[in-house]
Amino acid sequence: MFEGLSRRHMLAGAASLAAAPAMRAAAAEGPIRVGVLTDQTGPYADSGGAGSVLAARMAAQDFGPTVIGRGIEIIEGDTRNKPDVAGVIARQWYDSGVDVIVDLPVTPVAAAVQQIAREKNRSVMITASVLSEFTSKWCSPVSSHWADDVHTLALGATRLLTETGKTWFFITVDFSFGDALMAEATRAVAAKQGKVLGSIKFPIGATDFGTQILQAQSSGADFIGLIAVGNDQVNLIKQSVEFGLTRGGAHVACFLIYITDIHALGLDVTQGLTFPAGFYWDQSDASRAFAKRFMAEQKAAPTKNQAGIYASVSHYLKAMAEAGTADAVAVNKAMRARPVDYLGRPATLRADGRLLYDVTLYRVKSPAGSHAPWDYYTAAGTLPAAEAFLPANPACVA
């Protein structure tokens, strides 16, 4: 029933709202429900979508058939990347007994669901959206943030690269994500005695980046930072190669990019790109074992979002077993108390809900340097967890 409702985006009527307490009471005797609220058909369907649902199902299967004496059910919904749609689904799910929601691409969607989770006292685990404010300002005892955030992405690229060159130019998408990341990156460059020579913005959905690329090229900067996501970033990278952006010796750095984007563009186009990330499928024995199983069904390598879903759902179920209850506050408290296995990479969940881990700077291999399917990255540096994230807001850990 729940999965069907989410797929059709049916609005809850007065009768269903009136029945919500009874439904919650009945659900307490039913399975533990994990809702994967993702982009199933839009620009983030490859980095999330069916792969996100698969990752959650793999986590449930690996944990076992039951937790605290109850079965485990994975349900799915499509946000259509609209906060109002996501909000309707989240309220329906929580009122119907769904225990936790995970994934949540794009900031407005994640922010809407995080607020509803707080109101309903239900768990939410944000693995896709990257805004730092999910813990620095909007922390909650029932919320956790598992994605590389804006601060970490900016620091992971600029701090490590500014050791080999001092000047930057940014091509930035003109909305809140772009503004926040560019501000963080500018501060990080200045902290390493570097200099931002300039920046230029483009609107969401742009198709012609010629003006932006030529201005970046003429700046003479050592590094050109591409602050974009999704189709905008794919088109920007393609045109950067067509315009010969790096012919003058500049190096191109991305901030938020997925391995599915690299695959779609090809190594001929993306070779040499650098970017920070907390996960790569070939980072450890545990990640390789997970990826092998994932690829057998999905026919693609897991993205960092999909890996975060596997890790977060696994951790959530283990914490629930330790807490001996499905109560959201108790489970989240147990989640923060136990170490996290981030697919072979040690991690901890801070009291404010921020996941902490080492962040790696990766460089995309050349076609000749890739020796197997999805063998795309090589490590170029590491930012330790202790340096990679904003300090906790004291109000969030009291």
The C-alpha atoms of residue 126 and residue 86 are separated, in whole angstroms, by 13
Same domain, yes or no, for 7 and 130? yes
Same domain, yes or no, for 346 and 367? no
Same domain, yes or no, for 231 and 142? no
Same domain, yes or no, for 73 and 203? no
Does residue 263 contact residue 324 with C-beta atoms inside 8 Å? no
Same domain, yes or no, for 113 and 62? yes
**In this predicted structure, what is the pLDDT of residue 116?**
98
**Where on the phi/psi map is residue 343: left (φ > 0), alpha (ψ -120 to 50), or beta?**
left
- For 14-54, how does the pLDDT look when each residue is reduced to its tens digit (9 = 90+)? 333 334 554 444 455 799 999 999 999 999 999 999 999 99
Into how many domains does the chain fold?
Answer: 2
- Domain with 384 in it: what CATH number? 3.40.50.2300
**In this predicted structure, what is the pLDDT of residue 398?**
56
Phi and psi for 195 in degrees, rounded to 5? -145, 135
Secondary structure element (H or E) that encloses residue 68, with its range: none
Q: What is the mean pLDDT of residues 243-250?
A: 88
- Give the closest residue to 295 by CA, choosing from 363, 372, 189: 372
pLDDT grade, residue 159 (50/70/90)?
confident
Same domain, yes or no, for 143 and 59? yes
pLDDT grade, residue 160 (50/70/90)?
confident
Same domain, yes or no, for 118 and 39? yes
Is residue 396 included in any domain, yes or no?
no
The C-alpha atoms of residue 378 and residue 154 are separated, in whole angstroms, by 19
The boundaries of the domain holding residue 164 are 151-277+359-388
**In this predicted structure, what is the pLDDT of residue 29?**
75
The overall average pLDDT reported for the chain is 92
- For the record, the structure tokens of 187 come out as 């501060």
Q: Is the pLDDT of residue 174 over 70?
A: yes
Same domain, yes or no, for 229 and 372? yes
Is residue 393 included in any domain, yes or no?
no
**In this predicted structure, what is the pLDDT of residue 28?**
58
- Alpha-helical runs (H) found in the chain: 2-8, 14-18, 20-27, 49-63, 83-95, 107-120, 133-136, 150-161, 176-191, 210-219, 230-242, 259-265, 267-270, 285-298, 304-323, 328-337, 385-388, 394-397
| Model pTM above 0.75 | yes
Is residue 95 included in any domain, yes or no?
yes
